[in-house]
Amino acid sequence: VSSVEATTAHLERIRAVDGEIHAFLHVNEAALEAAADIDRRRAAGEKLGPVAGVPLAIKDVLVTTDMPSTSGSRILEGYMSPFDATVVANARAAGLIPLGKTNMDEFAMGSSTEHSAYGPTHNPWHLDRVPGGSGGGSAAAVAAFEAPLALGSDTGGSIRQPAHMTGTVGVKPTYGGVSRYGAIALASSLDQVGPVTRTVLDAGLLHDVIAGHDVRDSTSLVEAWPSFADAAREGARGDVLKGLRVGVVRELPEAGFQPGVASSFRNALNKLEQLGAEIVEVSAPHFEHGVAAYYLILPAEASSNLAKFDSVRFGMRVDVPGGTVEDVMAATRDAGFGDEVKRRIILGTYALSAGYYDAYYGSAQKVRTLIQQDFDAAFSSVDVIATPTAPTTAFRLGEQLEDPLQMYLNDVATIPANLAGIPGISIPSGLAEEDGLPVGIQFLAPAREDARLYRVGAAME
Ligand code: GLN
């Protein structure tokens, strides 16, 4: 198929189903022109890469010059960036066709996409269920065949947990593996951009496009990454699971997981064993404290990152006749930020205030170090760690909205990887018997060993 045909088909699909799903905040009117350009260049004999001409959905946390970038927030309504995020620039250079911007929890805070200022996204598997979050738009778009590939961002699970809830593949790369330049920052020490796709190979192809050093991101690794697509092909071919040591975390008890999630996980472990892997229990005693540490570190960093939305430099401004600069700022932030964002700014500001800093932020950083040490110890005896990606299948819209703590616990299994900076992948592991909804299994590997996840993931698919 030509790029114009592929792009047309996806735009038609969006027109047909997105009224119900609401995966997109913005559809790119110029997508067909970009597709026609790729077709012309290919016809002229230009040598283009493997993904040239393929449509791509982009989470609205990533800034783009030709489409608004809102990060799901009212305060950035209609905001046009003067530059492209590096991953977007890389995607365009590889010939990917931006289809549009996808819905998300405001500033990527949430696990259901219900915190979007522009209304929730619905799970294509069941429209009264959430698609997970914060990247529910990207995951739903891919699951509903509105886009073959999507970009997401994962600070505590926002790529992997929606992948789990929509039956898609999601990868959080090693911290520093993908540029964060132009990704509207939530928590800078945790954020990573990564792929959301329907197959492990597709994720590898997209990861190959976005990986690499970026002089504009001081935390980006100077690393010659292997081809993740090749790693996926290698995994699909063969016997990479033979002799593979798969760790299961003792301190992540099955009790907290929905029965169908736990049994899907057990089945996946059995399959791994049948394919020659060895299941080994590992101890990660601080794993379960990840959520607590995360909800101090994240609000602290977020409160600082969101200070730039001051009614002057970016986005909306609420006029206060006769008011001071401070009045304008307060009125703007009051009208522009949603409840969850305000909750976290208050939490973060409190945790960072003089006199409390050591007790809260300092302690959380210590727990973070202990989690990193747990992983180091575990990876001295296993090649990968496996967990269910999230405790439950897609829940009903509204079900957890009034209960922030319940919402936070969605990420109990995904957050530790962000705290430790290690890579993680979620791949579908079947449907839960009680509700027929998708379940994902997560694999974690040591930092810089992202390719291992593609080998294992493709072998399991
Ligand atoms: N659900 C988590 C949160 O609300 C994760 C968010 C993310 O990864 N961006 O913080």
Amino acid letter at 269? L
What are phi and psi for residue 178, nearest 5 degrees?
-130, 140
How many angstroms does the Cα of residue 42 sit away from the middle of ligand 1? 40
Average pLDDT over residues 53-72: 98
81 is catalytic: no
Res 314: pLDDT: 84
Ligand 1 site, residue 424, Cβ cutoff 6 A: no
How many angstroms does the Cα of residue 23 sit away from the middle of ligand 1? 18
271 is catalytic: no
pLDDT tens by residue, 187-209: 999 999 999 999 999 999 999 99
The answer to whether 156 touches 127, Cβ cutoff 8 Å, is no
Question: What are the structure tokens assigned to 128, written together?
Answer: 């009264």
Quote the CA–CA distance of 145 and 439 in Å, as a whole number. 19
Strand-pair category, 97-102 with 278-282: unpaired
How many angstroms does the Cα of residue 408 sit away from the middle of ligand 1? 8
Res 11: pLDDT: 98
Quote the CA–CA distance of 78 and 16 in Å, as a whole number. 25
pLDDT at 255 over 80: no
Question: What are the structure tokens assigned to 428, written together?
Answer: 């579908």
Average pLDDT over residues 326-345: 97
What Cα–Cα distance (Å) separates residue 52 from each residue in 34, 102, 151, 172, 460? 11, 21, 16, 23, 27
pLDDT tens by residue, 91-149: 999 999 999 999 999 999 999 999 999 999 999 999 999 999 999 999 999 999 999 99
Average pLDDT over residues 66-92: 98
Mean pLDDT of the chain: 97
| Topology (CATH level 3) of domain 3-235 | Amidase signature (AS) enzymes (3.90.1300)
pLDDT tens by residue, 209-249: 999 999 999 999 999 999 999 999 999 997 999 999 999 99
Q: Which of 184, 182, 46, 187 is nearest to 104 (CA)?
A: 184
Res 313: pLDDT: 86
Determine which one of 71, 134, 153, 426 is catalytic: 134
Quote the CA–CA distance of 164 and 16 in Å, as a whole number. 24
Question: What are the structure tokens assigned to 397, written together?
Answer: 């819209």
Ligand 1 site, residue 109, Cβ cutoff 6 A: yes
Ligand 1 site, residue 70, Cβ cutoff 6 A: no
Average pLDDT over residues 390-397: 98
Average pLDDT over residues 293-308: 97
pLDDT tens by residue, 9-23: 999 999 999 999 999
59 is catalytic: yes
The answer to whether 100 touches 28, Cβ cutoff 8 Å, is yes
Quote the CA–CA distance of 445 and 246 in Å, as a whole number. 10
Determine which one of 71, 73, 116, 158 is catalytic: 158
> Is the peptide bond between 134 and the residue preceding it cis, with omega within 30 degrees of 0?
yes
Confidence band for 254, pLDDT divided at 50, 70 and 90: low
ipTM value, please give it. Answer: 0.96
Determine which one of 59, 69, 220, 426 is catalytic: 59
What Cα–Cα distance (Å) separates residue 161 from each residue in 14, 122, 277, 284, 396? 23, 15, 25, 21, 15
pLDDT tens by residue, 163-174: 999 999 999 999
Question: What are the structure tokens assigned to 182, written together?
Answer: 């132009």
What Cα–Cα distance (Å) separates residue 133 from each residue in 137, 201, 302, 366? 8, 23, 17, 27
* DSSP 8-state code for residue 58: E
Quote the CA–CA distance of 148 and 314 in Å, as a whole number. 32
What percentage of the chain carries pLDDT values higher than 90? Answer: 96
Res 252: pLDDT: 86
